Amino acid sequence: MSKVAIQGIRGSYHHQVGIDFFGKEIELLEFMSFDELVSSIVNNKCEMGVMAIENSIAGSIIPNYALIDNSNLKIIGEHYININHQLMALKGTKIKDLNVVASHPMALLQCKEFFKKYPKITLVEDKDTADVALRIQKNKIKNMGAIASFEASKIYELEILSKNIQTIKNNETRFVIISKNLFEDDSKCNKASIKFVLNHQTGSLSSVLEILKDNNLNLTKIQSLPIVKTPWKYSFFVDTTFSSIDYLNKALKLIDEKSEFLKVLGIYQNKIR
DSSP 217: P
% of the chain surpassing 90 pLDDT: 84
Domain layout of the chain by residue ranges: 2-82+171-179, 86-162, 191-268
Residue 273: pLDDT over 60: no
CATH class of the 86-162 domain in this structure: alpha beta
CATH no. of 2-82+171-179: 3.40.190.10
pLDDT tens readout for residues 140-153: 999 999 999 999 99
Residue 193: pLDDT over 70: yes
What's the pLDDT at 223?
93
Q: What angle do CA 19, 266, 271 make, to 5 degrees?
A: 50
pLDDT tens readout for residues 5-53: 999 999 999 999 999 999 988 899 999 999 999 999 999 999 999 999 9
What's the pLDDT at 182?
83
86-162 has the same fold as 2-82+171-179: yes
| CA 180/CA 75 separation, integer angstroms | 9
CATH superfamily name and code, 191-268: ACT domain (3.30.70.260)
pTM for the full predicted model: 0.90
Q: How far is CA 195 from CA 22, 198, 222, 230, 233, in A?
A: 27, 10, 10, 16, 14
Name the 3-class secondary structure at 220. strand
What's the pLDDT at 97?
96
Q: Once rounded to an integer, what is the mean pLDDT over residues 154-179? A: 95
